[in-house]
Amino acid sequence: MKFTFKKALVTGGAGFIGSHLVDALVDGGCRVNVLDNLASGKLSNLDQVKEYITFYKGDIQDQKILDKAINGCEVIFHEAAVVSVTKTVKQPVESALVNEIGTLNVLDGARRHGVKRVILASSSAVYGDSPELPKHESMTPKPQSPYAVQKLSNEIYADLYSTLYGLGTVCLRYFNVYGPRQDPSSPYSGVISIFLTCANEKTSCRIYGDGKQTRDFIFVKDVVQANLLAANAMALENKVFNTGTSKTTSINHLWQLISDISGTRENPEYCEARSGDILESAANINQISSELNFKPEFSFKNGLALTWKWYRNNN
């Protein structure tokens, strides 16, 4: 894809999704600044591009370093956040300083520096547990965690900055993102990162509930593509888009696919369902498809196979 911009900032660029974005931007010849406080991101995620980027170690709450990192950038991809929902439940105030005030700092820095467009990472969590499926952008959000409130507040600020200051903003509501570099270390990490680690270590996985619950899993490179399309599109002000595939997979089927790919013969251990676990999640992607021409490229099988290869070689 040919970019309509020459220089971009990726906040959280050393993290799981951010580092894949950096790879794609560097690949496309864009000059890239990365701002990351390395709280959950890792420098090793940027090893392959380190000669081509300018890295700033710092926090999005620190306006001085943010100013340096934004300088000269036409686009900002804002991925930096406290991404653990559980952590935001345990630390609602501390996480709000990063996820709300930090984001406000990014938007304001963008305004002051005349940045053309900010693409913000939002989440399907804003929908809460409403049973209506698939989720579409016009549904009333119903956040059920500090994390979801924080992401929704980011969207509202993005809207405000667009109206008040004419800043171009696009919020992407990510569904269940998976792929290489996703950290499997907490029990609340993404289920695919946990299951692939189990398969690699030849241990059995835990399935919470009956395993019939479904998710809309999207491969990280498709999320990157959605970000690039959002940054590139002209005449697109203040938009919110679901970023999923519209296809769903049950947790039982997921383990079956992983068993097939990895050759593991372990049986899953069925445990009590997680409290608050939603049964089904699926994205309606009509808007992002028609307005950005977005089409997920990776089938679930292909994405899973690529992710398995990475876990096998890197753990």
Which residues are marked as active site?
Answer: 147
Task: Confirm if 32 and 7 have CB atoms less than 8 A apart.
Answer: yes
Report d(CA 19, CA 39) in Å as an integer: 14
As measured in angstroms, the least distance from the Cβ of 281 to ligand UD1 is 6
Which residue number, 24 or 273, has a Cβ lying nearer to ligand UD1? 273
CB of 41 to ligand UD1, least distance (A): 16
From the number of C-beta atoms within 10 Å of its C-beta (0-12, 13-18, 19+), residue 199 rates as buried
Q: How far is the CB of 254 from ligand UD1 (least distance, A)?
A: 8
Least distance (Å) from ligand UD1 to the CB of residue 176? 5
Helix (H/G/I), strand (E/B), else coil: 173? strand
Nearer to ligand UD1, 212 or 312 (CB): 212
Kindly list the residues in this chain that would bind ligand UD1 in the complex (CB under 6 A): 85, 124-125, 176, 188, 190-191, 194, 205-208, 213, 215, 251, 274, 277, 281
Residues 6+ apart with CB under 8 A from 112: 67
CB atoms within 10 A of CB 128: 18
Which residues touch 193 (CB under 8 Å, ≥6 apart)? 178, 182, 183, 184, 311
Task: Give 163 or 185: the residue with its C-beta nearer to ligand UD1.
Answer: 185
Q: How far is the CB of 90 from ligand UD1 (least distance, A)?
A: 14
d(CA 91, CA 299): 37
Please say which residue, 32 or 120, places its beta carbon nearer to ligand UD1: 120
Q: State the angle between helix axes of 103-113 and 146-165 in degrees (0 to 180), rounded to the nearest 10.
A: 20
Q: 8 or 96, CB closer to ligand UD1? A: 96
Q: Which of 176, 191, 203, 181 is nearest to 315 (CA)?
A: 181
